């Protein structure tokens, strides 16, 4: 049978992965025009962050309200490369200093700062997209988890870091593009990322990377490390007194979450064509937690749907009711936490998956079709 479970993927997991793959790689590209597809590509970049939050928060109990920091750092690394490429002397010959990014010119800066220089290299930039956010997460993780800062305190500190980074970016306008961010990005190694063809291709690259992240997250969850995270969430002291250095595990999962968020940020820049502090600060960081909560904080697949649905709702409702939208989002968050603490994934697992498994078993012509519904439901858990 094709969808046979193994050590890392139960049959239910495989079904869920397959359905999501069909949605992302077949249904959406076939059903949507390029504009809408690009929009969904943008939504999916948030799914990277949500997957990271499932690992950190859902499994490990580490609530970070500052994932926008890593999303933003990843996005800015990508944007810096693209901006340098878009600022060739020919393209910027009307500036008082041609050959530097436009916002630097507006801020009377006449030379590309030293720390921008390495971003002329695509290879460096791609490494930086992951390594800079991970290094930053590592520093935060060591500073916090070694000192046993956790729970609400950790959440507040990550939120403060998100606020600080936003202020820093806005304040250093000449080096960062300030509140407008880094805009007017054009080509990647000469390939115009603004064309429809490029947008479709980037959508598929994004989807592919999303699945890479999903697979990595699944492997982490199903390894002993994944179970240690759950154990840590329940009884941190017991894990410690079973001979584990708890801080190392927290640092690891926080860095993994940062890496996922950073990939999402870089893909956001490529698909949307700019990066700005409005994707870094407190509000977007909290929104990312909501994507994860709505989708189901225990399910990596659920997190993807959460990111898709909440963003879709955001686009739809924020056009119709611009003032009420944020209140509505808050209400959804509260409702989910109170009524469905495991989000959409919890509903799926309780009500949909058992039925699907029955169908799959029948299709496969298993002799086990006599098995009753409850037995399969138990097996799915």
Does 375 sit near another protein (CB under 8 A)? no
In the complex, least distance from residue 256 CB atom to another protein, rounded to whole angstroms? 10
DSSP run (H or E) holding 252? helix 246-272
Instruction: Determine which residue in the list 239, 258, 304, 308 makes contact with another protein, applying CB under 8 A.
Output: 239
42 belongs to the binding site for another protein (CB under 8 A): no
- Cα–Cα distance between 191 and 365 in angstroms, integer? 50
Residues that bind another protein (rule: CB under 8 A) add up to a total of 25
Q: How far is the CB of 224 from another protein (least distance, A)?
A: 4
Under the criterion CB under 8 A, does residue 234 sit at the interface with another protein? yes
**Cα R_g (the chain), whole angstroms:** 22
Task: Give residues 244-273 in contact with another protein (rule: CB under 8 A).
Answer: 244-246, 248-249, 252
238 versus 363: smaller Cβ distance to another protein: 238
**223 touching another protein, by CB under 8 A:** yes
Our finding on whether 323 is near another protein (CB under 8 A) is no
Report which DSSP code applies to 262: H
Q: Which of 209, 231, 272, 329 binds another protein (CB under 8 A)?
A: 231
Nearer to another protein, 23 or 247 (CB): 247
Distance CA 292, CA 333 (A): 10
Residue whose tokens read 């801020």: 107
Whole-angstrom Cα distance, residue 51 to residue 70?
A: 13
Tell the smallest beta-carbon distance from residue 56 to another protein (Å).
Answer: 14
DSSP assignment, residue 279?
G
> Measured from the CB of residue 141, what is the shortest distance to another protein in angstroms?
12
The answer to whether 55 and 64 have CB atoms below 8 angstroms apart is no
Out of 2, 35, 224, 319, name the contact with another protein by CB under 8 A. 224
* Interacting span for another protein (CB under 8 A) from 26-34, 126-134, 236-244, 273-281: 236-244
Residues 6+ away with beta carbon under 8 Å from 17: 9, 211, 214, 301
Residue 275 is classified by DSSP as B
Largest CA distance in the chain: 79
Which one of 44-52, 189-197, 223-231, 325-333 is the stretch in contact with another protein (CB under 8 A)?
Answer: 223-231
| Helix (H), strand (E), coil (C) string for 106-141 | HCCCCCCCHHHHHHHCHHHHHHHHHHHHHHHHHHHH
Q: Residues interacting with another protein, by CB under 8 A?
A: 219-220, 223-225, 227-228, 230-231, 233-235, 237-246, 248-249, 252
């Amino acid at each position: 049978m094709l969808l046979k479970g193994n050590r890392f993927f139960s049959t239910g997991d495989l079904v869920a992965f397959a359905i999501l793959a069909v949605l992302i790689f077949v249904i959406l590209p076939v059903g949507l025009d390029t504009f809408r597809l690009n929009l969904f590509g943008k939504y999916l970049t948030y799914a990277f962050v949500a997957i990271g939050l499932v690992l950190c928060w859902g499994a490990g109990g580490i609530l970070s309200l500052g994932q926008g920091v890593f999303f933003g750092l990843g996005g800015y690394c990508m944007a810096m490369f693209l901006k340098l490429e878009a600022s060739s002397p020919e393209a910027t010959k009307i500036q008082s200093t041609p050959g530097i990014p436009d916002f630097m010119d507006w801020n009377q800066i006449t030379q590309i700062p030293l720390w921008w220089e390495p971003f002329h290299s695509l290879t460096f930039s791609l490494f930086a997209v992951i390594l800079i956010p991970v290094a930053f997460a590592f520093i935060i993780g060591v500073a916090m988890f070694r000192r046993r800062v956790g729970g609400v305190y950790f959440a507040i500190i990550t939120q403060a870091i998100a606020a600080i980074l936003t202020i820093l970016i806005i304040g250093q306008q000449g080096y960062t593009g300030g509140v407008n961010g880094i805009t007017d990005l054009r080509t990647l190694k000469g390939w115009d990322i603004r064309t429809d063809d490029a947008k479709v291709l980037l959508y598929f690259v994004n989807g592919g990377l999303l699945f890479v992240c999903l697979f990595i997250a699944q492997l982490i969850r199903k390894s002993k490390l994944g179970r240690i995270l759950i154990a840590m969430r329940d009884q941190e002291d017991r894990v410690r007194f079973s001979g584990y250095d708890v801080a190392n595990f927290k640092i690891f999962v926080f860095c993994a979450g940062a890496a996922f968020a950073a990939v999402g940020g870089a893909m956001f820049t490529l698909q949307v064509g700019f990066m700005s502090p409005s994707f870094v600060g407190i509000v977007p960081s909290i929104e990312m937690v909501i994507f994860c909560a709505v989708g189901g904080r225990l399910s990596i697949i659920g997190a993807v749907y959460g990111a898709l649905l909440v963003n879709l709702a955001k686009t739809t409702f924020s056009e119709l009711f611009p003032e009420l939208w944020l209140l509505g989002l808050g209400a959804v968050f509260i409702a989910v936490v109170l009524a469905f603490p495991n989000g959409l994934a919890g509903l799926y697992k309780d009500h949909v998956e058992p039925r699907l498994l029955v169908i799959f078993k029948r299709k496969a012509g298993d002799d086990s079709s006599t098995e009753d519904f409850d037995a399969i439901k138990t097996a799915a858990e």
